Amino acid sequence: MAADPHVLFDAWYAEARQSEPNDSNAMALATVDADGQPSVRMVLLKGHDPRGFVFYTNLNSRKARALIDTPKAALLFHWKSLRRQVRIEGPVSGVSLDEADAYFASRPRDSQLGAWASDQSQPLPSRETFEAQFEEVKARFEGQDVPRPPHWSGFRVEPRRIEFWQDRAHRLHERRLFTHSGDGWSEGLLYP
């Protein structure tokens, strides 16, 4: 048994980065809105440490609005090539402005421009409308750095529960559950 789930996550994530053909950092993000309606979608992990698991988005998106209304979330990594899953649950907070600025600056220029051009989660009359907005933004920032839009930032899911699931023969899977309390992590097993 490991004493720190972050050490185990780092080991599994390193293996996934070697074995997964696409997006080993893809994770399902589950939220619930102010009316209690759940929603799930795929996002990309852009950083993790003992403070939590970070992703970025438009703050006007459905997921951001849900997280602002109900700052709790669940994450799921599914690494099919390894026959493993990691489930994470916990409270959510925004990243610092410095963290958001630093990550935004590291993105490819077209991704930066796309953050300005997209009214994420809003109705789109046609693909041509979006492409025209992208071209307008591209012209506006021609020859200069693209600043982070004020409506774009990141969230950190602070883990309170982390479950590591490993496929085993005959559906006798292994489930290791770490739970966090004020004085650290405890670990136990769950029936499959």
Residue that is written with structure tokens 């004085």 in the block: 183
Q: Is 171 a catalytic residue?
A: yes
Token pair of 28 as six digits: 């399902």
* CA neighbor of 147 nearest in space, from 101, 95, 110, 108: 101
Report the C-alpha gap between 42 and 22 in whole angstroms. 13
Where are the strands (E) in 115-166, listed by range?
152-157, 161-166
Whether the CB-CB separation of 163 and 178 falls below 8 Å is answered with: yes
- Point out the catalytic residue in the list 62, 171, 175, 176: 171
Structure tokens at 29: 């993000």
Specify whether the CB–CB gap between 153 and 60 falls below 8 A: no
Residue of 192, 176, 191, 182 whose CA lies nearest to 3:
176
Take residue 189 and report the two structure tokens written for it: 């097993």
Q: Are 29 and 15 in contact (CB under 8 A)?
A: no
Residues carrying an active site annotation = 171
